[in-house]
Amino acid sequence: MTIAQQVKTTLASLKSAQANLESFALATQNKQAKQVYTQAAQTTQSVVDQLQQRVGQLEKEEPTYKGF
Amino acid sequence: MQPGGHASWLKGVIEVPEWVHIIIRTLISFCAMFVFARLIGKRQLSQITFFEYIVGIAIGDMAAIIPDELDAPLYHGLLPMAVYTALPIALSWVALKSKSARDFLEGHARVLIRDGKILEDNLKKERMSTDELLEHLRSKNVFKVADVEFALMESNGTVNVLVKSEQQPLTPKRMGLQVPPEVEPQAVIMDGQIMDEALATIGFNRAWLKTELEKQGVAVENVFLAQVDATGQLYIDVYEDKLKIPEPQTLPLTNITLKKAQADLESFALATADVQAKRMYTEAAERIQQVIDKVGPYLTR
């Protein structure tokens, strides 16, 4: 696996974790837990955004692997 | 028994055979005892003082008079029972209002061990031998007197023990851990019946429950008990005990995914030669670590 592919895998799992955190935030009735989940989801989302940018850069550098 | 020898209120009204008379009186005394027992209160037998215990016996004894002495009018039994019921209620009311009355009526706890030292004088006052003290401590799972910081004998005779702080069980607070508040789970299915009220309390509906059951591949009729916790995780017990239902894994799985992503980010940071990318990865890894630290306790329960 090239670096671009590895980063994409990590990006995918982070996205899934982020989505899970959001659904936990929706499911829980407890205010404190809801807040913790929401914050965690937001932070994770910001990391996802950063990684997304990096993937764009990598794809520019290794156009062969674009889309994989 | 001579006929007509037992003058009774009932005999005056209608002539009844003696055995019917006995049954009626027994029923009356039974009901009266039930009512008086309810009036006295619902404290457990282990919590009552010796005095309350004797009062209970006395009331029972008076109840026995009613079917036993057919000649005596009913109130010979009922009246003292009522008085014996009213007195403890009155006394406990007085005890509730005044501390000194409470100390006098209910007695007070006596310290047996303070700062790890056995107070022999107090032991003597309670007429407790060393063996008894050790026995009481052992029943509290304390086998070494050296572990005890403080012990006292309550007014009802039980010995309660505070062990030294280093012997106390480890709690999240002592560890300095932040843990989510515990919320009581709700039983949403009992004996194959959906409990709508419980479902509403925890903020879900039948449609949600149906989806969750479908995910686990179980029909409602086959569920003996299903509980939902505060995070919306559904735990199911089916009638068929051989059937294995997987426990919900989303929470721990998310935790693991986050941890893995964090490790990945760190290794990317090490692998890349690009200074800017290195900084970005390191920073991202740190932020995910913060997320794990905060949300971890909520995901691993």
User: For the stretch B5-33, what's the b/e string if a residue is b when 16 or more beta carbons lie within 10 angstroms of its beta carbon?
Assistant: eeeeeeeeeeeeeeeebeeebeebbeebb
Chain A positions in Cβ-Cβ contact with residue B188 (cut-off 8 Å): none
Chain B positions in Cβ-Cβ contact with residue A54 (cut-off 8 Å): 277, 280-281
Q: Residue B5 pLDDT > 50, yes or no? A: no
Indicate the burial class of A21 (C-beta count within 10 angstroms; 0-12, 13-18, 19 or more): buried
For A57-68, the pLDDT digits (tens) are 777 777 665 555
Mean pLDDT, residues B125-148: 90
Residue in chain B lying closest to A57 (CA):
B277
Residue in chain B lying closest to A44 (CA):
B288
* A62 Cα to chain B: minimum distance (Å): 14
Residue in chain B lying closest to A24 (CA):
B231
The answer to whether the CB atoms of B298 and A36 lie below 8 A apart is yes
Quick check: is B268 in a domain? yes
A18's tokens:
């982020």
* A66 Cα to chain B: minimum distance (Å): 19
Residue that finishes a domain, picked among B248, B263, B289: B248
Quick check: is B213 in a domain? yes
CB within 8 Å of chain B, chain A residues 9-48: 9-10, 13-14, 16-17, 20-21, 24, 27-30, 32-33, 36-37, 39-40, 43-44, 46-47
Phi, psi of B118 (to 5 degrees): -75, 130
The answer to whether the CB atoms of B203 and A29 lie below 8 A apart is yes
Q: Which of B254, B281, B289, B293 to mutate to test the interface with A (most CBs of A within 10 A)?
A: B254
Mean pLDDT, residues B60-70: 85
Residue found by looking up tokens 């294995």 in the block: B244
| B117 shares its domain with B71 | no
Mean pLDDT, residues B189-205: 83
| B95 shares its domain with B13 | yes
List helix spans (H) across chain A.
Answer: 3-27, 31-61
Quick check: is B177 in a domain? no
| B18 shares its domain with B97 | yes
- Any idea where the domains of chain A sit in the sequence? 3-61
* ∠ CA B153-B156-B157, rounded to 5°: 45
Chain B positions in Cβ-Cβ contact with residue A1 (cut-off 8 Å): none
The answer to whether the CB atoms of B284 and A51 lie below 8 A apart is yes
| B36 shares its domain with B93 | yes
d(CA B284, CA B287): 5
* ∠ CA B182-B187-B193, rounded to 5°: 170
Mean pLDDT, residues A25-34: 79
Per the model's pLDDT, the better-predicted residue between B277 and B247 turns out to be: B277
CATH number of the domain bearing residue B236: 3.30.240.20
List helix spans (H) across chain B.
Answer: 9-13, 18-40, 50-68, 75-97, 99-106, 120-125, 130-139, 172-175, 196-201, 206-216, 250-271, 275-299
| B161 shares its domain with B140 | yes
Q: Residue B124 pLDDT > 80, yes or no? A: yes
| Range(s) of the domain holding residue B260 | 251-299
Q: How far is CA B230 from CA A28, A31, B151, in A?
A: 6, 11, 38
The answer to whether the CB atoms of A27 and B231 lie below 8 A apart is yes
CA-based radius of gyration for chain B: 33
User: How high is the ipTM of this complex?
Assistant: 0.81
Q: Is B271 on the interface with A (CB under 8 A)?
A: yes
Number of domains in chain B: 4
Beta carbons within 10 angstroms of residue B34's beta carbon:
11
| B281 shares its domain with B236 | no
d(CA B230, CA B9): 63
Mean pLDDT, residues B16-45: 83
| B234 shares its domain with B266 | no
Quick check: is B176 in a domain? no
Residue in chain A lying closest to B272 (CA):
A3
Mean pLDDT, residues B52-81: 85
